[in-house]
Amino acid sequence: MSFTIALAGNPNCGKTTLFNALTGSSQRVGNWPGVTIDKKVGRIKGTDSELVDLPGIYSLSPYSPEEVVSRNFIIQDKPDAIINIVDATNLERNMFLTLQLIDMGVPMVVALNMMDEVKKNGDKIDVDCLSSSLGVPIVPISAKSRDNVDALVEQIEAAARDGKVPRVMTYDQSIEDAEKAAEEALRGKVPDNSIRFYAFKLLEDDTLLEEMAPGARESISSEIDALEKEYDDSADSIIADSRYSKITECVTGSYTKAPRDERGTLSDRIDKIVTHRILGLPIFACIIAFVYFIAMYDGDWGTSPGAWATGWLNDYIGDVIIPGVADWCAENGVNEVLTGLLCDGILTGVGAVIGFLPQMIILFTCLVILEEIGYMARVAFIMDRIFRHFNLSGKSFIPLLVGTGCGVPGVMACRTIESEADRRITAMTVTFMPCGAKLPVIAAITAALAGAWWVGVFAYFGGIVLVIISGIILKKFKHLAGKPAPFIMELPPYHAPGLWTCLKSIFDRSWAFVKKAGTIILLTAVLIWLLSHFTWSGQFIDPESDMGESILAWIGGGLAYIFAPLGWGLGPDAWKLSSATLTGLIAKEDLIGTLAIVLLGDPDMAEDEVGAALASILTQSGILSFFTFNMFCAPCFAAIGAIHRELGSWKHTGIAVLYQCILAYFVAMIVYVIYGAAIGDPLDWSSYFLCMVFVIILVYLLIAKDPFRQLGKNGEVAE
């Protein structure tokens, strides 16, 4: 038989690992209807059942879109059963969601994950006792090593087939009496099988119940008042405390912890160092610097693995593949235009991007390992201390971490932020982070600055600084003002990364880049070559001739006046830089592809010479200015589309893109003048003047009084 199974659990409990273990490669990804939140669906291996991965949540209260999506799916789509995955090393926190799911009245099996960690700690869990206390089947598993996953599949299939719902978890008599009154008030207005869940939500003053059952809470106000008077607390706190008391009762009778070292667990001892109030940020900076060093560095201290592999691949493309194709075309009498398009356009443009794939793989490998061992969760905790000083939540840093892979999921990850103001600001600024598409740009600029390994670190921490600056500035606008969302996040114990999980994550990120190179970048490379080799009259420009009369030169020449103050100049090569910047809006990788076409017209030149070619037409400060603007200006079209989905209108999206470009221009000018003055590059007086003006504007925006800093109840802006 075919069943629909929902997979629910807290963030960082191993839900994604279990989903991958259960479904393998039979997965499809989309969005929930009407909501831009990732929806993963797959077929459970060895069965005809469909597994739906619900967003990671801590509860079923309507604090975030994820929680609303999860409960709506369970209520409206009516899955046949639920797998509730629970972190066995943190039962008390995870089981709050379990008790809420029990109230939903849907057949359920609890997957007790990370049992290998429990055994490693010397702890013991009496699974039968815990199952009896909760009234639901429990299967101990290790999703990472796939231990006992087959038994879980058997149990969930049986639960779906039998349709037996979990036993009701009862609380104090006063709470039960109030719940019964709430059930009567909701009878006929909510699904019968989930009426107990909704009754508790009515007592908790859930805002969604106001729409589903208007006036229901007022009809039982006397029962609620009596309950709150008896416990001397609000109804939602009373219910939450009762659930945690029940959890403590269940766990105490089934969980035996081994004697602990006075110094704490290994994770505790490591956390005392890496999350230290003073040392935490420098340690993070050193780790990121080391990651970019081994992925990018090529200088006096030697060549990093990433730089060596990229150099080899670039040499192979430039010295073997492109000349080989050119010779084949010449031998077979292929038309000159088609030969140029194939060799100088497609292979040179796409090859310049693909050539940086080894560096991206190494960088992705390092970041994935940091995520898998649990360090990145600590980074979010560290950054919360900093972000909160600037009226932002540490939750805003989580999308920034996701955005280092790709800006699109980074923007989409903003939905985990409860505060609408923080969510919108983060969506507008998450693309300041150096995503995978920007890595070829970082690598090229590193080469242009003679192996300056710090370029990647500058991009990473520069993005964080711009997010903080934006938080200060944007919070001063009424529709973006508000209190930062509270930061609540589990810090999972450190553990060895799973080989399969790491390989899959690295492959997914790298393959996404390769697919982009084979589609968007390929099409753009063709377009750029055509624009750079034809005039407005349709005349073909010989590859050996100057492209200054081309359509692309005409477009870039007009834009060059805008960027001249940034040190890009107005010489014969200025149009090449502004044209590359323009195509970077389509896809950031296209910036390197365009430079390869307009700077390296000779197909015999290797694409790793892009940086050297750039250095031949710009000063070092001009190169850093060019890099700064392109790193922090508006993102690619795909990310702009994601921003539009989050902000809800093209007007707000246009404002966000304009803001990003203006801020990037200001910062590029400041970097150009400061760096140029420091290393002795010749600078025009107008650059000094504009730099001073931009600094004054930024300082004013940062120190100007925030008219909305005084906030009313629940973080609402006080009028």
Return the closest-CA partner of residue 82 out of 20, 5, 11, 195: 5
CA 192 from centre of chain? 38
Q: What is the C-alpha to C-alpha distance for residues 446 and 608, in angstroms, rounded to an integer?
A: 11
pLDDT band per the 50, 70, 90 thresholds, residue 112: very high
| CB neighbour burial string for 540-572, b if at least 16 within 10 angstroms, e if fewer | ebebeeebeebbbbeebbebbeebbbbbbbeee
pLDDT band per the 50, 70, 90 thresholds, residue 715: very low
Residue 168 clears pLDDT 70, i.e. is over it: yes
pLDDT for 108 equals 92
Residue-range domain boundaries for the chain: 4-162, 173-256, 285-484+502-703
Look up residue 26 and give its amino acid: S
β-sheet bridge partners, residue 5: 51, 81
Q: How many CB atoms lie within 10 A of CB 470?
A: 21
pLDDT for 352 equals 60
Q: What is the mean pLDDT of the chain?
A: 80
Say if strands 50-53 and 4-9 run parallel, antiparallel, or are unpaired.
parallel
Select the CATH number that applies to the domain covering 4-162 from these four: 3.40.50.300, 3.40.718.10, 1.10.3720.10, 3.40.50.150: 3.40.50.300
38-42, 182-186, 314-318, range with the lowest pLDDT: 314-318
Greater model confidence, 632 or 312: 632
pLDDT band per the 50, 70, 90 thresholds, residue 713: very low
Q: pTM value?
A: 0.61
Half-sphere exposure of 64 (CA within 13 A, CB side): 23
pLDDT band per the 50, 70, 90 thresholds, residue 518: low
Q: What is the C-alpha to C-alpha distance for residues 477 and 483, in angstroms, rounded to an integer?
A: 13
Q: What phi-psi label fits residue 135: left (phi over 0), alpha (psi between -120 and 50 degrees) or beta? A: left
Question: 171-201, pLDDT tens digit by residue?
Answer: 889 999 998 998 888 888 888 888 888 888 8
Question: 121-138, pLDDT tens digit by residue?
Answer: 788 899 999 999 888 999
- DSSP string of 590-656? HHHHHHHHHH---TTS-GGGHHHHHHTTS-HHHHHHHHHHHHHS---HHHHHHHHHHH-SHHHHHHH
Q: Residue 4 in contact with residue 77, Cβ under 8 Å?
A: yes
Q: How many CB atoms lie within 10 A of CB 328?
A: 13
- Looking at CATH, the fold of the domain delimited by 173-256 is given as Helix Hairpins (1.10.287)
Greater model confidence, 559 or 451: 559
Rounded mean pLDDT, 282-288? 85
pLDDT for 122 equals 83
Residue 295 clears pLDDT 50, i.e. is over it: yes
pLDDT for 673 equals 93
Question: 236-249, pLDDT tens digit by residue?
Answer: 888 888 988 888 88
Return the closest-CA partner of residue 152 out of 161, 144, 143: 143
pLDDT for 602 equals 47
Greater model confidence, 414 or 235: 235
Greater model confidence, 449 or 589: 449
